[in-house]
Every structure is written in structure tokens, then in C-alpha cells.
Structure 1
């Protein structure tokens, strides 16, 4: 079989080089289809398919080590584009699963006194209440707009950051690249993989699935982080999601990102629960966290602490703006990455910044984080070591924009994905939530068909132990 040459696709070649991935002899990586699928100027299908193809190359390399066999991987751009908003396709016993309205009063663009727009995000109650206190107004669109109009944009953005809330000015791509944070991120790769400790190589032995026996601790919330671990579960990783008992959740996102996972509660402000997590960490392979930079480290589970506790750990961190630089401690959301990096300007205009019809940065960053984890596993297998993988929503937004833009006549009238396409990608399964219809895994593997062993389950449905110590009663489905 002829090996596909990654140099034919510069973006795929870049990712493979970052991960030090080579396509196994006899393997083949194919990207098919074309953009656009949604009415957006960005080549979102191509960007998402490129990351998924790189993931496919990493999975194929792992499979080659564990079975001695190669395989063909195919990703279609239309399928990849549809996956960037899979949450809206959830159906519970035939009915749509409600998800937060992007236009509810506070989470939106507002015009400041200097004519600039700012996007504020109130996705959790404490963020909503903090923003309303800062603006000194009720949670009503007209009142919010009036309050924002009394602020200059930079002053409001800085005040939001100082109060540890979430908001960002709508900038052009050029403006963002001229900010200190934009310049810093531009100097960094889209995925950072840093060796942070020494350990013996850990070969991956024979297995039925590429990631069988790989244990993943998932300390993530909302979308990008849990999407990365859901992606790892597609190929057999054992994922245990850990949530603080007092942390708010968004039910539709929990349902959509919960496929293939076990889920438990631990309060890391309490010593007994910290001990339990340390016990889980000792036999984990991957630790994934997506809270505001410094939060998990402040609870005693920094990348360096994890590497001391479990030499050979692959630690994956998600952030909005990166973990260093003047914005390194700021929290953020997908829409803020669209706003500050220029995506909202291009989707709309300076006078009317507009969000993408999908969640490109959340999903693509999730895919990038999963790929980084796979690459680090391969490095560990070959040369040993503990690794810190870093990805951020804003760096992903910059990378996605590097694919170029379509002219208006090629995207403005695009109707979106067809019903036939959605039907082809959907799966149905009985779950603790009842019968769910959802988008299944979209990457095609000739040998290691992707599927989720466990159905999506409510938060805290399982004990804080690895499954051989807590039998799982669910039957594995037929491969999707």
C-alpha cells in the first residue's frame, strides 16, 4: 500500500512534526471533502480534519506498536465540520436536549463608550453575578447595554480581568497580533509538548484496541477539555472524570462529552479526597485539566507535582489565553477567543462582530489536546519521561485563521449540513439519561473502529476508583 506523504499538506506536516509522529509503513492518512459546510469564512472543516488526521496517524503508530499492523485513516472535511457543534444534535427520546442560549442577556457583544464592542461571558452563576455587580445593573439586556456604554472598552476589559471574571474586546486579527499576548502566542507552537521529568520507557504491549489499558484522569469542565478525553475514549482509553461537588455544570455539555467515560466527585479542598486523587494518579497515564491557570496547581496537582507522584505522567493543560504572558492568569471561554483574536470581526464586521455558527475553538482545541497526549505517550514509550502538553483556545483560533479565508460569495449563502449528512453521522444508544441520539466518532479507521465502551452517564455516577476495582455493568456496544 502506498504511504501518504504528509508533506503534501503543510498543516498536517506541521502537526506531525510537532508530535514527532511518522506514518507507519503500509499506513495511509486521507483527508477528503471540501469546505465550506457552514456559513463562515474560515476553513473550519479543513482545520478540524487536519487535527483528526494527525490523531489518526498517532493512533496508527500506537496500533503498529501494539499489533504489528498498519491501517488506513480517513477524515472527511464535512464530517469534521459538523463535529464542531455536536452538542446541538443531541436528542433525548427524540427531543432536542436544551443547551444554553448564546444570546441570553449578559453573554453577548455590547458597545462601549469608545465605540468598541466587548463580549462578556456569564456561563456560570458566579460569573453572571460578578459581572452584574461590576456593571451595577440588573440582568436585562437594555440595562446591561446602558451600563456598558458608560465604560471605555480597555478599562472595562481590564476591570473584568481584575475581578477574575470573563470578557474580551472584539479585535481584528491584526490588532490581536500586535498585543503582547498575541505576539507571545504567535511565537509558540499550536501544541506545546515539554518534557518535565525523567522516567523509564513504558512500552505499550499487545492489546485489542490502541488505547486499551491507558488510564486518563479527566479534571475538566465545559467543552474543550472534556472533548479531548472523549476523543481518547474512542480508541479504548479508560477515562475517569472528576468533578468538584460544588462546581456548576451545563447538563447538555456533560451529556455530549460524557460518552465512554466514568464520572465521579472529589473535593480537592479536603485532604481525604486529595489522597484519593493521588492514589488514582499513581496508576494513571494521562492527567487532563482545563480550569483557570493556577487553579489545579493551587490544590497540589501541578504538572510538576503530578510528575513527582507518577513519573511518566502525560499532563495536559487547557487555557483560554495561554499560561504565560500578561493574560496568562485570565480565565476565558470559546467565544472570547473568537472575539479577541479577530474571528468575530471576520464572521461579521467591526461594527457588528458576530460569533461563528459552530464552536470552532472549543472542539479544535480539544482535538489538539488529545493529539498532544497521544504524541507524548509515544515519546514516553520510546524514551521515557514525563510530559506537559499545553493548548489554548486563542492559539487554536490563530492556527485556524492561518488556513485563510473564503470570499463572501463562497460562504454567506451556505445553508449548513444536509439532513442526509447528519443522519449518516448519528448513533442511538440507551443510556442512564434514556435513549440518546448523538453524533458518533467521525474518523474512519480500517482496523480499529472507534466506539465508546460506556454510554454517557450523569456526573458522579461512579466511585472514585479504576474500573477493575468497581465492575461496570454496561455492555460494550457494537462498533459504531
Structure 2
């Protein structure tokens, strides 16, 4: 176990804490317990996971102290708990049934001049992928492989993008300048880990004393898949009333929701209708935070421009997440963790000896960014306690990828004997009996599990508790 007797935290934790605007001296309150070679990879994934959890746990402890007075509780990050949580979707069993993380048409495929990575887990993405390639809707893996092998990787990427689907050319490993060498490829180097700014007039409510940091905080969750939902399930763990809002026309995968919906509620609103918009505005009137996980500008047509929201609702925290960063030629593209790994050069770095592109041992960009986002919201609420102002926060999977590839230094292994069973538990849910990972957020006196498991997707009323 590391106790940081010198008062110096591990470097990655200090970087993450600094990125979300934390006071450097507070990281002296963070220690960790090693668990051996967890999350093994060429890149320092274990260090990333530990750092994001350290920053998140410290932000929770800091907010609790800001509400109640007194010192900030100490944080002790257990690498075993973190490693289990970073692959929570692999540990989840629903009535004994394991999840299927990737659909048959999602994965790495040979192109005429290299490799591509596709993502077709959702039916609409599968349909767009096949349409872009001129393939029949019933085409299976063999037919897709044959078609992709006949086309250059960059051409596949651009064809599928134009059709609204998801495929990227696998970039070579970055060179000495930190950039992959493929022409027309994505550039991750230089992207910030987080963008944090005070915004809007003062007027946010001051949070009263509480037993858990986010008790009474109301969070509108407009996120999907992994990173955003991981952030909001963390806020729910810490006491927030988190209401996930989805369109009734864009169904979520029930397994993904079961994993990341812990502690939250879920409702459906069509923001394109007067009724749906009115219900959303009523929720917004008393919200403390709005968390979004769509492409830049993707929600603007519904009046959800961050600056306008903060101007209308003094003290509101708006936290935004995207795949590729908030500026540049890739900003408006759809993306997921696996695609960012492929396009940034991570897949090439993690390639096997035969040259096939590899992957990180977890959806680490998703989980790591999710915990950073939660940390950012918690810190914003702490700052609001002092000045009453809202905050505008922006994160991206690509910014986390750049941090992983360029700024985190590997550290020696500590401890050993890791058994994920130590960090699993069972809970009842609307979907059946669950075996699931315990939350890894840890500070003195903090909660050890969610108040309840995932409710049924879209099954809750559009009201605050």
C-alpha cells in the first residue's frame, strides 16, 4: 500500500486533479493500494485508471468538506476495485447471462492497404455501414470482410462517415512528434484533458450539510453508451438525483443500460414536441447540472447550447463529453472508445507480434473520461459553494487518449493476488438478478454501493424525486 509519506502524489493523479482545477496541495490526501499487474498493456492503463479514480474520489471528499466544514476526508484508491470497475460490463451477469460487448460486424478488418475498425453495435449504425459499402442489409461478417478487403482504409472511413456510420482507418503508431503518420488521419496530440471555466451570473443555490457529497443535487443526464453514463452513475452513487433523458426514437441497448444505469432513473422525452420540451424545461428549472454526451452542436436544435443554458439558469453546471475533441476537422464525427483507440494510434501501439491491431485491456478511454467528468462536476459544485456561479466543462475521449499516450509515466507494480470476485456483489433489478462490480470511488466514510440497481430504460416519470 502506498501512503505517500513524502506528501507527493503519483504524477498522473496530480495531472488529472490539476486538469479539473483542483488545489495541488489536496492531492497529499490521496493514497493507493496496489493489486499487481492489473489492466496490463503497453501503455500505462493501470496508472490512468488509478489517477482518474483518485481525482474523482478526492473531488467527492472535497465537496463533502465544503458542505459540512472541517478537513477533506482522506482517499485511498484500491487498484483491484478500479480494475474491476473499468471492465464492469464484462463482469455483469443478468440472471446468470453474460453480456455480448461487440456485435458481429464490429471489430478490426483488413482493408486493401491496411486495417479499419468498425462499430456496428446499434441497428442503425449497422444499416449505415452496409449501405455505405453497397452491401445487402443481411450481409454477415464474411461478406463484410470481402468487401472491406477490396477498398483502401481511408476510402472506407470517408464513405462510411458520409453515410452516418462508424468506421475509421487504423493509424500507425505515433512518430517522434507524437502524431500518427497516416494522411488524412486523426490528430490527438495537444488536445486538453479537460476544459473548465466559470460561466454565467451568480445565483446558484448553496448546498446544505449532508452525509454524502452530492445529496440533493439534481442532474439531467443526456448521455449514452459508456463514458457519460459512467460519470452520472458515479454522481448517483454519491447521492445525486440523476434522471437520464432519452428520445423515444433512439432505443438504448438494455445490457449497456443495466451496467451503467446504477442508482439512476430513466425517462423518455421527445424534445422535438411541445409537450416533451415543456417537460424538459420544467426539469431544467431546478436542475443543478446537465451532462451531455453528444457531438458538438448535436443538441443545439433543441435549445441546449451550453452558454445559453447557463445564462438562463444561474449556477447551472454544464458538463459536455464528445469523442474527437471540440474543434478541428473531426469534431463533428460520431465516435466511440474503440474507434478513438484505432484512429489515434493506440491500436497500433497495442498490436500483437503478427501485426494485427490491438486494444487496451478495457474501454479505458470511456471509463477514465467518465470518472474525470464526474470529478469535474463535483469540483464545479464545490466552487459554486463559494461564488454561486455555474461552470462549463468539456471533456473528450480523444483528450484522454492524448494524455495516455503522451503524458502518463509507467510506475512500478505494487501488491498482488488480485481477485475480481472481491469487488463483485449481487443486487435485484427490473431486469432480473444482477452480479455486478462494486463502485470504486473511495474516501473515508463514503458509500460502498448504489442505493438501487438500474431501473428499466425509459420506465420512470419525468419528475424530480
Shift of residue 203, structure 1, vs aligned partner: 2.9
SS at match of 1:99: coil
Counterpart selection for 1:385 from 368, 385, 389: 389
Aligned to 1:43: 44
Counting only pairs closer than 5 Å after superposition, residues 62-141 of structure 1 correspond to structure 2 as 62-69=63-70, 70-93=72-95, 95-102=96-103, 104=104, 106-113=105-112, 115-138=113-136, 139-141=139-141
Matched, 1:453 2:451: yes
Match of 1:237 in 2: 240
Between the aligned partners of 2:220 and 2:279, the Cα distance in structure 1 is 12
Query: What is residue 160 of structure 1 aligned with on the other side?
Result: 160
How far residue 463 of structure 1 moved from its aligned partner, in angstroms, is 0.5
The equivalent residue for 1:439 is 437
Query: CA separation in 2, counterparts of 1:293 and 1:227?
Result: 20
User: Residues 245-394 of structure 1 correspond to what in structure 2 (within 5 A)?
Assistant: 245-349=248-352, 351-394=355-398
Give the distance between the partners of 1:462 and 1:48, measured in 2 at CA: 32
Query: Distance between the aligned counterparts of 2:442 and 2:377, measured in 1?
Result: 20
Alignment match, 1:203: 206
Write the distance in 2 (CA, Å) between the matches of 1:305 and 1:266: 20
3-state SS of 2:76 partner: strand
Any gaps of 5 or more consecutive residues in structure 2?
none
Q: Deviations over 1:16-36 (max 9, x none)?
A: 222232378898211221553
Aligned to 1:57: 58
Are 2:154 and 1:150 aligned?
Answer: no
TM superposition shift of 1:43? 2.4
Instruction: Tell me how far apart the structure 2 counterparts of residues 16 and 264 of structure 1 sit (CA, whole Å).
Output: 33
2-side partners of 1:404 and 1:23: how far apart?
Answer: 19
Query: Structure 1 76/26 Cα, relative in aligned 2: closer, same or farther at 3 Å?
Result: closer
Q: CA deviation at 1:406?
A: 9.4
Offset from partner CA, 1:101-131 (integer Å, 9 cap, x none): 35x1x21112222x21111111211111111
Judged with a 3 Å threshold, the aligned counterparts in structure 2 of structure 1 residues 161 and 332 are, in CA distance, closer, same or farther, namely same
Partner of 2:169: 169
User: In structure 2, what is the Cα distance between the partners aligned to 1:386 and 1:190?
Assistant: 20
1:189-240 alpha-carbon deviations (Å, 9 max, x no partner)? 2011133322236432211211101111001111111010001111111100
Kept in 2: contact 1:35–1:44 (CA 8 A): no
**Cα separation, partners in 2 of 1:130 and 1:26, compared to 1, 3 Å:** closer
Cα separation, 1, equivalents of 2:410 and 2:22? 28
Separation (CA, whole Å) in 2 of partners of 1:381 and 1:123 = 42
| Offset, 1:300 | 1.4
Q: Is the 8 A contact 1:235 1:450 kept in 2?
A: no
Which stretch of the first structure deviates more once superposed, 167-176 or 45-54?
167-176
| Gap regions ≥5 residues in structure 1 | 411-416, 468-480
Deviation at 1:458, TM superposition (A): 0.8
Q: 1:41 to 1:25 in 2, by over 3 A?
A: closer
Is the Cα–Cα contact under 8 Å of residues 3 and 26 in structure 1 kept in the other structure? no
TM-score (norm 2): 0.90
